Amino acid sequence: MRLKISLLAGLALMVGSAAQARTLSDIKASGVLKVATSADFEPFNYMKGGVAKGFEVDLAEQVARQMGLRIEWVVRPFDGLLKEVNDRPKEIDVVIASHAINSTRAKTVEFASPHYCTGGVILTRKGGPLTTKALAGKKLGAEAGSTYFSFLRKLPFDKSVQVYNSSLAVTTAVATGQVAAIVTDRFAAIEAQKTFPKAGLVLGETLWKEQIAMAFAKGNTELKTAVNAALHQVETNGGSAQLSRKYFGQNIGC
């Protein structure tokens, strides 16, 4: 009975949050799209000189311009973003922070069409574990609230998993030998090799493929549809591919 009551309460909360979300008309009238990110996942989203930068930041700016809007950026810790888009619907319209689409998350938020595709990989130092089996008995690291942490936690063998509050903290941990390996995004791993050139970082096994998308409060399908239309236009006119080449030297679209 407690499970049923909790489930109904959770559904009621999500419906209530979506009902309180700013409508597309409200957003257009204000001229402002409130977009939240973690700003800690270079080169996708990060802070430089007090200003949000990165592939996803630039992409969101193009999408907003396509909608005739300007962005008001909101920076929050990654592991709370999908909760806050429901809990604070007047403060956050959209989340863009490299969230992978999965069935668990899709129960609580609306996902846009994917804006890039990637995969989870093992990142270690030279001589470290390169495969899933080799992670057994090792001290490992991942970012809080990420699919990478969930993956490591569920591995069916003994290991120690250290949780970090940012992507930089995770990559620093493996680069400095605090952990034997981490699981992270493929492109973030490549960026880490550039950030720590003397650490001897190497990419191991690709563990799975992921589609990455923006997120909205559950039930806010009107805004999702409008953002999807703008995103499609940005992709059609080549804006997304141009940003991909700028940051990664290749098109990372799906």
Number of domains in the chain: 2
Which pLDDT tens digit goes with each residue over 199-239? Answer: 999 999 999 999 999 999 999 999 999 999 999 999 999 99
Given a contact cutoff of 8 angstroms between Cβ atoms, the answer to whether 54 and 247 are in contact is yes
- Asked whether residue 14 falls in the same domain as residue 96, the answer is yes
Which pLDDT tens digit goes with each residue over 121-138? Answer: 999 999 999 999 999 999
Which pLDDT tens digit goes with each residue over 58-93? Answer: 999 999 999 999 999 999 999 999 999 999 999 999
Confirm whether 254 is domain-assigned.
no
Confirm whether 253 is domain-assigned.
no
- Asked whether residue 60 falls in the same domain as residue 109, the answer is yes
CATH of residue 148: 3.40.190.10
Confirm whether 201 is domain-assigned.
yes
- Asked whether residue 12 falls in the same domain as residue 108, the answer is yes
- Asked whether residue 111 falls in the same domain as residue 72, the answer is yes
Given a contact cutoff of 8 angstroms between Cβ atoms, the answer to whether 170 and 188 are in contact is no
- Asked whether residue 92 falls in the same domain as residue 139, the answer is no
Range(s) of the domain holding residue 140: 118-209
Who has greater pLDDT, 186 or 5?
A: 186
pLDDT value at residue 178: 98
pLDDT, averaged across the chain: 92
Of 195, 102, 194, nearest to 146 by C-alpha is: 102
- Asked whether residue 107 falls in the same domain as residue 137, the answer is no
The answer on pLDDT for 18 being more than 60 is: no
pLDDT value at residue 251: 93
pLDDT value at residue 247: 95
- Asked whether residue 103 falls in the same domain as residue 154, the answer is no
Torsion angle defined by CA atoms of residues 12, 13, 16 and 17, in that order, rounded to the nearest 10 degrees: -150
The answer on pLDDT for 163 being more than 70 is: yes
pLDDT value at residue 21: 86
